[in-house]
A = this chain, B = another copy of it.
Amino acid sequence: METIDGMKWNVYQQDCPTRLALDRIADKWTVLIVGRLSGGTRRFGELRREVSGISPKVLTQKLRELERDGILTRKVYASVPPRVEYTLTPLGKTLIGLLDAVRVWAESHIETMLEAQSTYDRQAAEEVA
């Protein structure tokens, strides 16, 4: 690990910049957006349709954050109407396998999680009764 002022990068330290990186990638929308861009360049409207449930406002904000972080690039084409395309950078591509594994975990373990929630809620109801 590298250091700043002799401090090792440590995500457990509240004031360590790595918290910022963690905050960005440990994020539902980042997982979904990077997952779609792993298949290649996408237009804004395509991402909006493919990541169902995201509002245009949140999608715009997430894309701007990810662009600023160097995870994707935004390219505007001077057509009418203007076409805006998003593409993963080399840094962004290092996230593909990792975030795909996060998605796969969610899809693979949801049943166990739903069963645990049912058990928890039933026990909580019994304690109240």
Contact = CB atoms under 8 A, between A and B. Distances in A.
Contact of A9 (B52, B102, B107): B107
A86 to B, nearest CB: 15
> Copy number in this complex?
2
A84 interface: no
Contact of A69 (B1, B18, B117): B117
A17 B110 contact: yes
B70 A22 contact: no
A87 B56 CA distance: 40
B31 A22 contact: yes
A9 B51 CA distance: 15
A50 interface: yes
